[in-house]
Amino acid sequence: MNSKAKKIHSLYGLKWNPFGQDLPLEALITTPQINHFAWRVENLVMDGGFALISGDNGLGKSIILRLLHERFGQINEIRTAEFARPQSGLSDFYREMGSLFGIDLKISNKFGGFQRLRDKWKDHIGKTLFRPIVFMDEVQEAHHSILSELRLMSSTCFDSKIILTVVLVGDKRILRKLLEPDLLAVDSRTRTRLILEKYTREELINLLNEALERAGNPSLMTKELIEVVAEHSAGIPRAMMSTCKELLLEASSRELKQISEDLFIELYSDEGKSKRRKK
């Protein structure tokens, strides 16, 4: 932790920066919708298949992905893997899959790699009854061939047995992509979906209040400021948290005891900006 972060934590009695990106697991906030989706994915681990998280940037897709990855990673019987390069070609796809599952694959023999990965997964299922999980973020960047290969390698016995669970995460372009002829088979095998929409003003206010509560200082921001920031965030949690982070940094530099709407007006209103330029 750097000196600036230490000062902020000490000045405001915070356990962590509630507006930072590298938050501990206990700081990540869920909603009933997210909890229900997580429950659906838990069932999917028993049966296999595809799950999808989609939404515009800044709505919390990566946070949900991290929550799922952390939740399943704590269960010894469940094997999780995070696929890092969705834009890979098939050769790199097999290299990464082999690395993720501890298999030394020869790229010149994709069929052999295909079989060895499936054998690895079937052996894991035989021992634990759980399907391994592959998480793939930014999936709108993935080539059709990668998604099709995942579909083919995830099922056996004429598609009657599913041996892999795949969680796809991407912006709303993936919804259109899955409707293209080459990927209709993937779309039809996507058993559960979480489509994120912009937050309401009340949802943003509740999110911010809970974030402050968990961080250890629920009165860090005035009620009026919380309402103002929520109204000016256009329904995007990431935009709200970025604004709050800037306010916190400025408040700490002035050693303000509490952050109020006056600071927001000074930093972000046209009048406040004009005054700062004149100074």
- What percent of the chain has a predicted confidence (pLDDT) above 90? 75
pLDDT of amino acid 271: 57
In this structure, the dihedral spanned by the alpha carbons of residues 171, 175, 181 and 183, taken in order and rounded to 10 degrees, is 60
Q: What six digits make up the tokens of 25?
A: 């697991």
11-22: pLDDT as tens digits: 999 999 999 888
Q: Express as a percent the part of the chain with pLDDT over 70.
A: 96
CB-side neighbour CA atoms (13 Å) of 125: 20
Tens-digit pLDDT profile for residues 169-197:
999 999 999 999 999 999 999 999 999 99
Sign of the C-alpha dihedral computed for residues 20, 21, 26 and 28 taken in this order: positive
Beta bridge partners of 82: 135
Structural domains of the chain, ranges and CATH numbers in brackets: 3-20+199-278 (1.10.8), 32-195 (3.40.50.300)
Residue 108 has pLDDT above 70, yes or no: yes
Ramachandran angles phi, psi of 195, nearest 5° = -100, 110
Please tell me whether residue 266 adopts helix, strand or coil conformation: helix
